[in-house]
Structure 1
Amino acid sequence: MAAHSFVFCSCYASFIFLLICKGILGSTFTFKNRCDYMVWPGILSSAGSTPLDSTGFELNPGESRSFQASPGWSGRFWGRTGCAFDANGQGTCKTGDCGSNQISCNGAGAIPPATLAEFTIGSGSGTGSNPLDFYDVSLVDGYNLPMAIDASGGTGACGSTGCVTDLNRMCPSELKAGDGQACKSACEAFGNEEYCCSGSFGSPDTCRPSVYSEIFKSACPRSYSYAYDDATSTFTCTSADYTITFCPASTSQKSSTDPSTPTSTGTPNAPPMIPRAPMPEDDPSGSSWLPSFAIGGSSRRTSHNVLTWTPISFLVLYFFQL
Structure 2
Amino acid sequence: MVRVLLIIPPLLFFSQVICFSSAAIFTLKNNCPYTIWPVTLSTSNSSSSIAGFSELPSNSTASLPARPEWSGRVWARTGCLLSTSQTTCTTGESPPFTIAEFNLNQPTDSYDVTLVQGYNVGIGVSASGDGCKYAGCTVDLNMRCPAELRVVGPDGETTVACKTPCEALGGDEYCCTGTHSTPETCKKTRYSELFKTACPNAYTYLYDDESNTFSCGDGADYLVTFCPSASSP
Q: Choose the corresponding residue for 1:178, options 134, 152, 170.
A: 152
Q: Choose the corresponding residue for 2:103, options 101, 105, 120.
A: 120
Q: In the aligned structure 1, how far is the partner of 2:49 from the partner of 2:26?
A: 10
> C-alpha displacement at 1:90, in angstroms?
2.6
Partner of 2:177: 198
1:136 aligns with 2:112: yes
1:84 aligns with 2:81: yes
**Structure of higher CA gyration radius:** 1
Q: In the aligned structure 2, how far is the partner of 1:197 from the partner of 1:176?
A: 21
Partner of 1:242: 222
> C-alpha displacement at 1:75, in angstroms?
0.7
> C-alpha displacement at 1:231, in angstroms?
2.9
Structure 1: which 5+ runs fail to align?
1-23, 98-110, 124-129, 253-272, 274-322
Residue identity matched to 2:190: V
Partner of 1:74: 71
Q: State the TM-score, normalizing by the size of structure 1.
A: 0.61
Does the 8 A contact of 2:41 with 2:50 survive in 1?
no
- Residues 92 and 30 of structure 1: is their aligned pair in 2 closer, same or farther, counting only changes over 3 Å? same
1:158 aligns with 2:158: no
Partner of 2:31: 34
Does the 8 A contact of 1:139 with 1:224 survive in 2?
yes
Question: Which SS does the other structure have where 2:139 is aligned?
Answer: coil
Partner of 2:212: 233
> C-alpha displacement at 1:35, in angstroms?
0.9
Q: In the aligned structure 2, how far is the partner of 1:132 from the partner of 1:199?
A: 35
Cα RMSD of the aligned pairs, angstroms, is: 1.9
Query: Which digits, 9 at most, give the CA deviation of each residue in 1:164-200, with x for residues without a partner?
Result: 1111011000000134110000111112111111222
Q: In the aligned structure 2, how far is the partner of 1:68 from the partner of 1:51?
A: 17
Residue identity matched to 2:151: A
Structure 2: which 5+ runs fail to align?
1-20, 154-158
Query: Which digits, 9 at most, give the CA deviation of each residue in 1:259-288, with x for residues without a partner?
Result: xxxxxxxxxxxxxx1xxxxxxxxxxxxxxx
Q: Which has the higher helix share?
A: 1
Partner of 1:291: none
- Residues 60 and 52 of structure 1: is their aligned pair in 2 closer, same or farther, counting only changes over 3 Å? farther
Does the 8 A contact of 2:74 with 2:100 survive in 1?
yes
Query: Which digits, 9 at most, give the CA deviation of each residue in 1:49-72, with x for residues without a partner?
Result: 788894343101111111111122
- Residues 165 and 205 of structure 1: is their aligned pair in 2 closer, same or farther, counting only changes over 3 Å? same
Q: Choose the corresponding residue for 1:45, options 27, 42, 45.
A: 42
> C-alpha displacement at 1:223, in angstroms?
0.5
Q: In the aligned structure 1, how far is the partner of 2:133 from the partner of 2:47?
A: 26
Partner of 1:9: none
Partner of 1:267: none
Q: State the TM-score, normalizing by the size of structure 2.
A: 0.83
Residue identity matched to 2:231: T
Q: What fraction of aligned residue pairs are identical, expressed as a percent?
A: 47
> C-alpha displacement at 1:204, in angstroms?
1.1
Partner of 1:95: 91
Does the 8 A contact of 2:138 with 2:229 survive in 1?
yes
Q: In the aligned structure 2, how far is the partner of 1:192 from the partner of 1:162?
A: 27
Q: Which has the higher strand share?
A: 2
